[in-house]
Every structure is written in C-alpha cells, then in structure tokens.
Amino acid sequence: MLLPRISLLLLSICVFVLSGCTPDNGMLDISGKVTMDGEPVNSGTISFMPVSGQGTTSGGEIIDGEYTAEVSPGELAVQVTSPQEVRKENPTAEEVERGLDIDRKETIPGKYNRASVLRITVAADALEHDITMTSKD
C-alpha cells in the first residue's frame, strides 16, 4: 500500500518539475547572430521593444556575435549597441591619474540603436532572428 503512494508522489513531483513551476508569461525565447558588414559584433547589447506598445521591453547580451533573449511575441523594434573603449587624445595629467583618460565610443550607427530602423516579427514558429547591419547608408 505504501509503494503505490510513493510512486504516485514521485510521478506527481516529476510532472510538476517537467512542466515548470512558474506560470506561462507569454514570452518566447529567441536567438540569432548579429553582424556588421558581414563580421560578427563581438560584444554589446540588444534590446527589443513591442511596436504596438503592448508587451514587455526586453533584451540580452551579444557575445561573440550571438544573442539570446526572452521577448514578447509580435512586431518588435530592435536596438543594438556595441561601445568600445578609446583613449582620449591628449589627456591631462589629472585625467590620467584619475583614470578618466578613456572614453566609450558607440561603434554601431544610430540607425540601428537610438533611431533604429530594425524590426523583427516574433511568433512561436519564428524564433531565430539574425540581425544584419551595414556601416554604409
């Protein structure tokens, strides 16, 4: 009598764990490659904003030209950033001493970040989205 109850308990636990213990939030996991002029964007961030205003703004990190993110389904505006550290020209001695002789310069053109023209449409059957950018107009 005890063995069937233990088996039922173990089965219930397995079903609970496999089904996930958090409620379905409607978000979808997407992934893809991010390139600029055919070359991978080594590091940076990628953000997704629902065009309709309905849904959640989200994003992820770009690592070695690839990203993953959990996003709301639908049409999304995409913003990509990849700042690089650059040494200031002719820093003062005080700037060098205080470690203020390095600036961050955005390497992605504005048309792909603050004024992005990039759009993707995410659905359960469309979860891979490569982002291809060019530095030319």
User: Which DSSP state fits 23?
Assistant: -
User: What percent of the chain has a predicted confidence (pLDDT) above 90?
Assistant: 59
Q: How many CA atoms lie within 13 A of 18 on its CB side?
A: 6
User: Which DSSP state fits 112?
Assistant: G
Backbone CA torsion sign across 83, 84, 89, 90: positive
What digits encode the pLDDT tens for the residues 38-90? 999 999 999 999 999 888 999 999 999 999 999 999 999 999 999 988 888 88
3-state secondary structure of 135: coil
Domains of the chain: 24-133 (2.60.40)
Distance CA 134, CA 26 (A): 33
> Which range, of 36-45, 90-99, 112-121, averages the lowest pLDDT?
90-99
